[in-house]
Structure 1
Amino acid sequence: MTKLVDITNIIRSKNSGPYELTMDIMFKTLEDYENVCSNKIINEKLICELYKISKEDIINIIEFKPANAIKITIKRPIASGDLGETDVYGAQQHAPLLSIEL
């Protein structure tokens, strides 16, 4: 079984404003990108399971072929900088994606 981390150059997360998080997955090759996209490996069900969120909390999942990338945007469970929030920049929120196996 192949791991997502083995076929990507970058898996990262960041704020997309104070109320949203964006995760970027950038693939090493067009072939790997197209394989993941055509098999719908990155999908709403998977993101809901990994992030323990409802489907309504997913803003979008965008496949962007010019960059061999998939961008996922979700609602933040706690606004950036709010009391109880532990990652003000959203830079550590990509960790659940690291466990994906193909």
Structure 2
Amino acid sequence: MSPTIGDVASLVRSKNAGPFWQTLDVFLPDDDAFRRVAEAPGLDEATVARAYRLDPATVRIFRLPDIRVVKISFPRPTPQGGVHDRDMHAGQQHVPLARLPLHP
């Protein structure tokens, strides 16, 4: 079985990026781990969109080698604090990303 992003990362977290966007951060422990995740064939806009039921055109992936972080941002499914918001701080939204295999 292929290792997951969560297996390789030091930390995978999610948070609000304002009331209408959320962001997922993948912190990697070293340059090799960063390359494994940042260059993984399974880490692209289409895969993230499938995992979160999004339009791939709305997913933004930022690979930041200087700080060994991959940041993924996309619109929240409902505005923060709205009547249908089930995770006001988007603090539990990292799990699908952490479970993605590095090699599909």
Q: Is the 8 A contact 2:13 2:25 kept in 1?
A: yes
1:95 corresponding residue in structure 2: 95
Q: What is the distance in 1 between the residues matched to 2:42 and 2:27?
A: 14
The CA deviation at 1:38 is: 2.8
RMSD: 1.2
Per-residue CA deviations over 1:21-71 (Å, capped at 9, x if unaligned) read: 00000112211211222344321011111001112322x200001111100
- 1:38 equivalent to 2:39? Answer yes
The CA deviation at 1:99 is: 1.3
Structure 2, unmatched stretches of 5+, are none
- 1:78 equivalent to 2:78? Answer yes
SS of 2:10's equivalent in the other structure is strand
Q: What is the distance in 2 between the residues matched to 1:17 and 1:93?
A: 15
Q: What is the distance in 2 between the residues matched to 1:33 and 1:3?
A: 13
- TM-score scaled by structure 2? 0.89
Q: Is the 8 A contact 2:42 2:100 kept in 1?
A: no
Moved over 6 A (4+): none
- 1:5 equivalent to 2:40? Answer no
Q: What is the distance in 1 between the residues matched to 2:44 and 2:89?
A: 24
Q: Alignment identity in percent?
A: 25
- TM-score scaled by structure 1? 0.91
Higher fraction of strand: 1
